[in-house]
Chains A and B, each alone.
Chain A
Amino acid sequence: MNLSYWIEMIMSGVVTGTCYAMIGAGLSLIWGTLKMVNLAHGEYYMLGSYFLWTLLTVGNMPLIPAIIISIVGVVIFAAAVHFAAIRPLLRKPGWNMSPWILTLGLQILLQNLALKIWGELYRNVPYFWNTVFKPWNMFTMSGQRIIILTSTAVIILALMTVIKKTRLGRAIIATSQDGEYAMMMGINIKQIYFITYTISAGLAAVAGILLCPVYSVNPWMGATVQTKGLVVCILGGLGNIEGAIIAGILMGIVESIAVSAIGSEWRDAIAYIFLLGVLYMKPSGLFGKKKGV
């Protein structure tokens, strides 16, 4: 195993990792503000991919409009789910297991709806950019991976700016740290819940769109990514966006190395084991939870 093999493996891990970071960041936001673990988060990732595939294949749309419409489509769908299922549940507080069970139900519903609508065949989406680069002649990197890396970098930077520097970002953090008092500052936390939920779903959809040419589209892709999202979320520290980013990249690299060592049929098991490890060894994350979450 030479240097270029290692570099490619790590680069591939980093690239996938940034997508995991986006998914984990979204999960973290939802967990922080709404205080619920969104088990159905992976399904928005899946839906992003499926929308794109459908628009490209059946709708015959050019790439960029298809991407935009897919993202918007998932966001609108998430908004609908929010109003139909999440809001009514939030209106009836009391049992601490209900959000978990609700999102579990949503996950199963969406996964099986996808299975019914699109069937069990694995689908393929072509690479967005069909070139391969050889940086410094040391390793190869596909154009797709470059697109993914730049897109995620831009999006993550934008997300962090919003969270840290804008009025909305402050409101989101306030809601996640002390929702009751946040209301007394004039923050309409129901609105914050809605915004957080839909933005997070959008992030997951983007990740799905970026990764589907690499990994192919199938109804179960959401469930596998969900575990990884949970790892990132918990490892990064609940509510901690920068933590999620680092944890995401870490997850990507670990997965990349492990898969080349053990074989891809254990890919999911690796994620599960990693998640268990995180839960037992560092439940408050690498960087500690933000208080109040």
Chain B
Amino acid sequence: MLKVDSVNAFYGDVQTLFDVSMEIRENEIVTILGSNGAGKTTLIKTICNLLPIRSGSIYYKEERIDKVPPYKRVDLGMSLVPEGRRLFPDMSVMDNLLLGAYSLRDKKQIQENLEWVISLFPWLSERSKQSAGTLSGGEQQMCAIARGLMIRPQLVIFDEPSLGLAPVIVDQIFETLSKITRENNSTILLIEQNAQTALEISDRGYVLENGHVVLEGSSDTLLGSPEIQKSYLGL
């Protein structure tokens, strides 16, 4: 579904991605692991065309999208739940959700999606008028996920959803992620530092280090590999 082919990216004169290639197939959950500064967020930015790539190409459903402007991603069925949540802090929960559905015109469809999203996170309906900036960290993350799902996307990119959250909430969130893939037939690209939980729910994974893909394989292989165990699982 999503294919990244030999992508090289720069911030000014500094190269951040070196010949990165990866593939995410339909209905898969793929994890990208890497420590801070490994290039994970840069990769996301290039996939969303928030950062132009110097060379290489990115394909979505067989079509090149690396030159397509970012705001057309949702039309393609791609959604991003960004690092740090990035909810619109002075807008209500409901307004944030409605913004998630900005690209949809059909009021009925928006309503249906809203109901689906609330079914995933029932507490959203009681707090719909609350200002998003006043939610707790875990609630914000769930709200951000809900917002990202409002278009019932085919590909969802989750950038470090567990960042700064308590383990209990993290489990909840990852459970929801699996649920989404099943219920909605979505494909998920998951960026994480929390390797254990991420690999447990995914099918395959890639490891990024300093802008290079250093390891790839099925989740079981990765979980079992000694490098992963040493660097990311602290074993």
> Cβ of A52: which chain B residues have Cβ within 8 Å of it?
none
B194 CB-CB contact with A under 8 Å: no
Interface size class, chain A: 20 to 34
Are A174 and B99 neighbours in the complex by a CB distance under 8 Å? Answer: yes
- Number of B residues whose C-beta is below 8 Å from A? 26
- Contacts A183-B50, A185-B100 given; indicate if A170 touches B91 (C-beta within 8 A): yes
Instruction: Assess whether A183 is in contact with B90, with CB atoms less than 8 Å apart.
Output: no
* Chain A residues whose CB sits within 8 angstroms of the CB of B200 once the complex forms: none
Q: Is A30 an interface residue (CB 8 A)?
A: no
- Closest Cβ of chain B to A93, distance in Å, is 12
Query: Would B89 and A177 count as touching, CB distance under 8 A?
Result: yes
- Could you tell me the distance in whole angstroms from the C-beta of A21 to the nearest C-beta in chain B? 20
Which one of B71, B88, B98 lies within 8 Å of A183 (CB-CB)?
B71
Complexed CA–CA distance, A292 and B74 (Å): 23
Complex CA gap A178/B74 in Å reads 17
* A173-B88 contact, Cβ under 8 Å, with A180-B50, A185-B103, A186-B102: yes
Indicate whether B95 reaches chain A with its CB closer than 8 angstroms.
yes
- State which residues 179-236 of A face B: CB under 8 Å: 180-189
> Which residues of B have CB within 8 Å of A178?
86, 88
Q: Say what secondary structure dominates the interface of chain A.
A: helix
Which residue, A185, A186, A188, A291, has most C-beta atoms of chain B within 10 A?
Answer: A185
- Complex Cα gap A171–B96 (Å): 10
Contact A184-B88, Cβ < 8 Å, known A170-B99, A171-B99: no
Contact of A184 among B48, B89, B95, B98 (CB under 8 A): B48
A167 at interface, CB cutoff 8 A: yes
| Residues in B neighbouring A177, C-beta threshold 8 A | 88-91
Counting CB contacts under 8 A, is B3 at the interface? no
Smallest distance from the beta carbon of B175 to chain A beta carbons, Å?
25
Q: Which of chain A's residues have a CB closer than 8 A to the CB of B73? A: 184, 186
A94 to B207 Cα, complex, angstroms: 33
**Within 8 Å of chain B (Cβ to Cβ): is A35?**
no
CB-defined contacts of A182 to chain B, threshold 8 Å: 99
* Listed A/B pairs (20) with beta-carbon separation below 8 Å: A167-B102, A170-B91, A170-B102, A171-B102, A174-B99, A177-B90, A178-B86, A182-B99, A183-B50, A184-B48, A184-B70, A184-B82, A186-B73, A186-B74, A186-B75, A186-B102, A186-B151, A188-B69, A291-B89, A292-B90
Mark A residues whose CB is within 8 Å of B: 167, 170-171, 173-174, 177-178, 180-189, 290-292
A174-B99, A184-B82 are known contacts; what are 18 more A-B pairs with Cβ within 8 Å? A170-B98, A177-B91, A178-B86, A180-B50, A182-B99, A183-B50, A183-B70, A184-B71, A184-B73, A184-B74, A185-B71, A185-B74, A185-B103, A188-B69, A189-B71, A290-B90, A291-B90, A292-B88
